[in-house]
Structure 1
Amino acid sequence: MNIKCQGTALITGSASGIGYQLARIFAAENYNLVLVDRDGIKLLDIAADFQKEFGISVINIIKDLSIPTSPQEIFTELQQAGVKVDILVNNAGFGNHGLFHETDLNNELEMLQVNLVCLTHLTKLFLREMVKEGNGKILNVSSTAAFQPGPLMAVYFATKAYVLSFSEAIANELEGTGVTVTVLCPGSTTSAFHERTGMAYSKLLKDKKMMDAETVAQIGYDALMRKKTIVIPGFINKLMSKCIRFIPRKIVTKIVRNMQEDK
């Protein structure tokens, strides 16, 4: 155990993208880590690198978070090992692209499980312990997609709207408990996410400069430490999220549809 250890951070979806960068930041800040991902090979490499570079303790939990029993299994495993989680980062998530009546139902049910149900379940399990201790932090990763409907990514946008609303509500409930909740709402970020969803060649993303995952993660980490409730990286993203409320929803939906279509 690192004598300078500030606590333990659990990060889901930590093998790549924003999750990996958040894990790296926490490691550099002398937090021990619990890394959760279904890519066990990547987790092994990351754990070895972080332990060597930062001298921290890393526990790898290889789980497919689309399986409903995964959150309870993670919680039970850590309880049995005597590991207290001080910071929970619900980062894992994925999306798809296409007309809702044509996309794969099983894929979307798994998306709901990962993006929404698993996040809620993990939060419930670890939050109770944090409130008892009177100390803890939760970072939920949402998206600027949370602020409007998303034709061609209808389910994904809806899950992110849930994450934003849920996080704001429990942040209010937790005032005075010593526990804080921060919700990170990044815009388009350089990662493999867009390739997996088929969005890489949409009007929204094609030839556009995106914020890198390292920058987004640092902004999220800083906001978490400052106990901010909502953080939206990037001036344009902040501006757009505020302007949307003054535009009729039907028009906003049409604009989003246009941006998400292929050129």
Structure 2
Amino acid sequence: MPTALVTGASAGLGAEFARQLAGRGYHLVLVARDADRLSAAQNALPASVEVLPADLATDDGCAAVAARLGKGDVDLLVNNAGIGTYRPFGVADLALEERQLDLNVRAVLRLTHAAVRAMTDRGSGRILNVSSVAGFVPRGGNATYSASKAWVTMFSEALSIQLQGTGVTVTAVCPGFTHTEFHERAGADMSNVGGRMWLSADQVVRDGLADTLVGKPVSVPSRRYQALVAAARTLPRPVLRAVAARRGL
């Protein structure tokens, strides 16, 4: 039975990753900071599940999960835990900005480091880092979040090159707006986002897992967001900045 470790597994995309991986016959290691919600997630899944409560914005939390990865039995790491602020830089508290980087960047770095060591030692493994379409666009209304996801995507893509021939692959999954509790928890007003721009968690996870299991370095769920990312990558940067500013991103 293969083993998958999923961070941020008690809600949103993390819970959907757990559900779909359970359906694929994985033994699950679920990580989140809320022990009660983790226990509820464990009880709801018809699968072999262990839980590991940990706050990945802290050294101790990262160390605990890195130690679990160091056991060498995890076939798939899903770095899903993350937060957004949706507040202009300089308005949001500095501590919140720093926590965002601790969770979105530093935790991904530390857990990927532990997974790469364990997986390359045995010659196989998959790492899925949840990034965002926001990482392709300079978003004036959420600068730290966009920058953190740009880092996740570039880090993942670069590692996919480094690890060629090792049996280990790394994939950045970059969804657009997705129906989860992410935006609600961030206190974001999403009323200006049209209905056709929203993706379901089921689709994001299904597409992301399919691309991860074939070793694709960057996965962008849905054709409409693939088109947007292609445009963002090819437009001159002054034009892209102007579009972002005009749309209030």
What TM-score results when the alignment is normalised by the length of structure 2? 0.94
The partner residue of 2:173 within 181, 184, 191 is 184
SS in 2 for 1:14: coil
Gaps of 5+ in 1: none
1:148 aligns to what? 137
Distance in 1, matches of 2:108 and 2:178, equals: 21
* Equivalent position of 1:112 in the other structure: 101
Alpha carbons of 1:77 and 1:114: their partners in 2 closer, same or farther (altered >3 Å)?
Answer: same
- Matching residue of 1:60: 51
Residues of 1 paired with 2:68 and 2:135: CA distance?
Answer: 32
- Contact 1:94 1:193 (C-alpha < 8 Å) held by counterparts: yes
Kindly state the Cα deviation for residue 253 of structure 1 after the two structures are TM-superposed. Answer: 2.4
Partner amino acid for 1:13?
G
Instruction: Give 2:243's aligned residue.
Output: 255
Q: CA offsets, 1:8-44, max 9 Å, x none?
A: 1000001111111111111111110110001211111
**What is the CA-CA distance between 1:244 and the residue it aligns to?**
1.7
Alignment length, in residue pairs?
249
Structure-2 residue corresponding to 1:35: 30
Question: Relative to 1, partners in 2 of residues 1:148 and 1:224: Cα closer, same or farther, differing over 3 Å?
Answer: same
Alpha carbons 1:21, 1:217 under 8 Å: kept: yes
1:241: which partner in 2? 229
2:198 alignment partner AA: M
Distance in 1 (alpha carbons) for counterparts of 2:195 and 2:233: 28
2:78 alignment counterpart: 89
- Partner AA of 1:66 in structure 2: A
The residue number in structure 2 matching 1:48 is 43
Deviations 1:123-150 (A, max 9, x none): 0012101001001000000000111211
**8 Å CA contact 1:15, 1:46 repeated in 2:** yes
Rounded Cα–Cα distance in structure 2 between residues aligned with 1:133 and 1:167: 20
Distance, in Å, in 1 between the alignment partners of 2:227 and 2:212 is 21
Does structure 1 conserve the Cα–Cα contact (< 8 Å) formed by 2:72 and 2:119?
no
CA distance in 2, matches of 1:77, 1:235: 36
2:152 paired residue among 160, 163, 168: 163
1:7-46 map, 5 Å: 7-46=2-41
| Cα distance between partner residues in 2 of 1:59 and 1:78 | 13
Measured on the aligned residues, the alpha-carbon RMSD in Å equals 1.7
Give the CA deviation at 1:70. 1.6
Equivalent pair of 1:68/1:113 in contact (CA under 8 Å)? no
Letter in 2 for 1:49: A
Residue by residue over 1:184-215, the C-alpha shift from the partner in whole angstroms, topping out at 9 and shown as x without a partner, is 00000001111222333353x26555111111
Is the CA contact 1:187–1:237 (under 8 Å) kept in the aligned structure 2? yes
Q: Percent identity?
A: 36
Q: State the distance in 2 between where 1:160 and 1:250 align.
A: 20
Partners of 1:58 and 1:245 in 2: CA distance: 40
Q: Which amino acid aligns with 2:105?
A: L
Could you tell me how far apart the structure 2 residues matched to 1:233 and 1:207 are? 16
